[in-house]
Structure 1
Amino acid sequence: MNYAVLGAGAMGYRYGVMLQENTGAKVDFVDTWEENVEKAHQQGGVSVARDHQNRRVIPVNVYYPENYKGHPDVWIVFLKQMKLQETMERCSKAGIFHQDQYVFSAMNGMGHFEKIAEYFPKDQIVCGTAMIATRMDGPANVDFMGAKGSEQMHYATYNGKAADQTVKAIGADFKKAGLGPVFADDYMGMCMAKVVFNAVVNTLCTMFEIQMGQFVEYPGVKDMAKQLFDEAFDACDRAGIKMITTRQAEVESVITVSHQYKYHYPSMYQDFSKGRPTEVDYINGYIAKLGRENDYVCRTHEFVTHEVHLAEMMRKYRKQNQEQEKKIAEMVK
């Protein structure tokens, strides 16, 4: 199987490099971030470390959509939700999507599969979730967090049918790559299980600008997680979504995963700290919307969605406030 990764970011590089290194599959990367593409060209690939150790440049082929001439069997899509529609349209105009291709995506949040289905047949879409932490420290510079073998992911068909031969082959390649794939029968229950996890860890770590290990030190984490999980599970129950995990298992996963990736800043914080918009509307905001659509109000999720947006807006005052504090300190002297 040949692959092309659309979105050479933290997770795009993680999947593509592990497939290329561990399976021998041909993997291309397509991206629209100019600094990232040019840096990869300049240094001859992507700089990769694991838990800050053994950094090396791994040769990869990175293209702009307009320059890509390949015809992969499978596209792997890892884009930010806010950029998905724009990037898919740019790729479509470049003529690099074909009706015989399958597409896999394990992006954060919800709403992306409907957009992907505008460009690919529904029977050829594979949905995924990934409990895999990766940092992008700069253009073509990533850090794979967690020991080898700690990677975990789920995948399911978008059409709800049993896996066909191509989907099975994708799963086999993911297993050989070391990504820890588990097939799920229902993509909605699978995806929502990851969304509600991110709605706790990603969002709260971002609001307080802390690592997952720092977050889990707080003795009230289980109570906070339970409050957010209970609302999310209630909303899913009202919507008829059968989760692939239980409420208690979700609470325990917050503790386990936060300890496992204790030095990791979640992807939402990585966006926030770099001044980019976060995906909170596709995570907590999606849960809140799902609840409202099914006559259930997720008040905590609505509140934290507003809090993250408030924090985003207040970033513009950070430098100004720091300068004012410096002036006050000098006056006191």
Structure 2
Amino acid sequence: MAKGSSSNVNSLKNGVIALLVPLPSILFYLCFLSNCGGGGCSSGLWKWCYHHPLLLVNALFFLNVNLLFWLISLVQSSHWMIDLYWTLIPVVLVHYFASHPLAEYNELRSWVVVALTWIWSTRLSHNYLRREGWQLGAREDWRFTDMRQQYGRNWWWVSFFAVYLSQQVFLMGVCVPLYVVHSVKEELKLWDLVAIFMCVSGIGMAYFADTQLHEFVSRNRKLKMSGKAMVPNLEEGLWRYCRHPNYFGEQLWWWGVGILGWGLGVGWSPVGSLLNTMCLAYVTKLVEARMVKQHYRAEAYRQYQKTTSVWIPWFRKSLYKQKNM
């Protein structure tokens, strides 16, 4: 079988797995709604699910994502699926929070938040698939590959905590404001407009930054195939004003979501956004360390670091001024 055909078969197989894997949680939740949709729950299990929406969704996440995804990763020797579902789980969560029998919310705010979450997810999913050449499961995140080498024989159990349990903390943390939006019934406020502006700006910035990066990588790939020297660094478009505009856009999105909950009187709502920023700070450090290890771009990237802001877009510094300070 040709290599391309084999890749397509594997991608199709992984697509089927990705479609089937959330079914246990979906079917369980549909059974719960059929028993408690009207507010009356007879059995102890359904009554517990009715009165504890956050505990229920965390239990489903632990069993269906942490445990089941982890077991599949052991069989496949790859943790590719968690990256795909990072883009999908917030959509599932926002619909869960909106449909739970205890949900109480302003319909216009809910509609806007659901729509924005779908737009965010579509953008990030498109970028993930485009980056992977529209193949599912062709590779796992390079950070997981590095950790696999670092932990060696212990990686099989360490991965449960490092890849999956940690993802639950981050994903549930950043999505708590989506729960707040669907548990407080108040009219729209000024803070809603501020949050929506931040969310839309973040989605737009991340989209354009990732598109510019994709085009740069594609051009370099063609140069390499033709035997020509690759361009060492992307310093055009949004990347001229900061080194990680895609990360900054993603942070704008999540801080906007956090402000939605904060504006409804739940002051700790942005805690997940703060955790996400701290995580991205660490990821930024890893990415930049990886850049300077690539010989063809190391010097150019060091110069880029000296002249260009890390996250927040700003005017570039002059190397001439730095040398004469």
Does the pair score TM above 0.5? no
Higher relative contact order, structure no. (Cα contacts within 8 Å, ≥ 6 residues apart)? 2
Q: Which has the larger radius of gyration?
A: 2
- The structure with the largest strand share of the pair is 1
More helix by share: 2
